[in-house]
Chain A
Amino acid sequence: MKVKNLMEKPAFRKFGGIIVLYAVVQLLISVGILNDYYFATIVTIGINVILAVSLNLITGFTGQFSLGHAGFMSIGAYFCAIVTLRVPGIPGFLLGMLAGGAAAAVVGLLVGLPTLRLKGDYLAIATLGMAEIIRIVFQNIEITNGAAGLSNLPKFVNWSWLFLFVAGITVLIVNFLHSSIGRACISIREDEIAAESMGINITRYKVTSFIIGAFCAGIAGALYATYFPIIKPDTFGFAKSVDILVIVVFGGLGSITGSIVGAVVLGLISMLLASWTDLRMVIYAILLIVIMIFRPQGLMGSREFSLAMLKRAGEQLNGLFHKKSKKEEN
Chain B
Amino acid sequence: MEQFMQQVINGLSLGSIYALIALGYTMVYGIIKLINFAHCDVYMIGAYVGYACMTFLHLGLIPSLCISMLACMILGVVIEKVAYKPLRNATRIAALITAIGVSYLLEYGMMYFVKADVRTYPPLEGILSQSFHIGGVTLKAMQILIVAVTVVLMILLQIIVKKTRIGKAMRATSQDQDAAELMGINVNTTISFTFALGSALAGAAGILVGVYYNSIDPLMGFLPGLKAFVAAVFGGIGVIPGAMIGGYFIGIVETFVSGYGSSMYKDAIVFAILIIVLIVKPSGLLGKATREKV
Contacts and interface: CB of A to CB of B under 8 A. Distances in A.
Instruction: Say if the two chains contact directly (CB < 8 Å).
Output: yes
Interface of A: 59, 65, 114-115, 117-118, 120-122, 124-126, 128-130, 132-133, 136-137, 139-140, 193, 238, 242, 245-246, 249, 253, 278-282, 284-289, 292-293, 296-297
Contacts of A117: 279
A140 B98 contact: no
A310 to B, nearest CB: 20
Given A121-B96, A292-B94, 7 more contacts: A118-B282, A126-B274, A129-B275, A288-B98, A292-B90, A296-B90, A296-B91
B222 to A, nearest CB: 7
Interface of B: 29, 33, 35, 83, 86-87, 90-98, 100-105, 107-109, 111-112, 222, 226, 229-230, 233, 264-265, 267-268, 271-272, 274-275, 278-279, 282, 292, 294
B97 A293 contact: no
B279 A118 contact: yes
12 contacts: A121-B92, A121-B96, A125-B230, A126-B275, A128-B226, A129-B274, A139-B264, A242-B97, A282-B112, A284-B104, A288-B104, A292-B98
Contacts, number: 123
| A-B residue pairs, 9 tightest by C-beta | A288-B101, A296-B94, A285-B104, A281-B108, A129-B271, A285-B105, A296-B90, A289-B101, A136-B268
A129 B90 contact: no
A125 B35 contact: yes
B281 to A, nearest CB: 11
A182 B292 CA distance: 25
B63 to A, nearest CB: 31
Contact of B278 (A126, A245, A278, A281): A126
Contacts of A122: 233, 278, 282
A121 B100 CA distance: 14
Main secondary structure on B side of the interface with A: helix
B23 to A, nearest CB: 17
Main secondary structure on A side of the interface with B: helix
A193 B108 CA distance: 43
A293 B102 CA distance: 12
A249 B98 CA distance: 11
A286 to B, nearest CB: 6
A43 B137 CA distance: 57
Contact of A121 (B35, B90, B102, B279): B35
Contact of A125 (B92, B93, B112, B278): B278
Nearest to A242: B100
B211 to A, nearest CB: 28
B225 to A, nearest CB: 11
A246 B294 CA distance: 33
A111 B43 CA distance: 32
B226 A193 contact: no
A287 B97 CA distance: 11
Contacts of B35: 121, 124-125
Nearest to A117: B279
B264 A289 contact: no
B92 A114 contact: no
B115 to A, nearest CB: 10
A253 B97 CA distance: 13
Nearest to B284: A122
B94 A289 contact: no
B229 A249 contact: no
A126 B294 CA distance: 27
A118 B281 CA distance: 10
A297 B90 CA distance: 8
**Of listed B97, B102, B265, B274, residue having the most chain A CB within 10 A:** B97
B36 to A, nearest CB: 11
A193 B93 contact: no
B233 A125 contact: yes
B279 to A, nearest CB: 5
Contact of A282 (B83, B109, B233): B109
A293 B83 contact: yes
B253 to A, nearest CB: 14
Nearest to A289: B101
Contacts of A128: 226
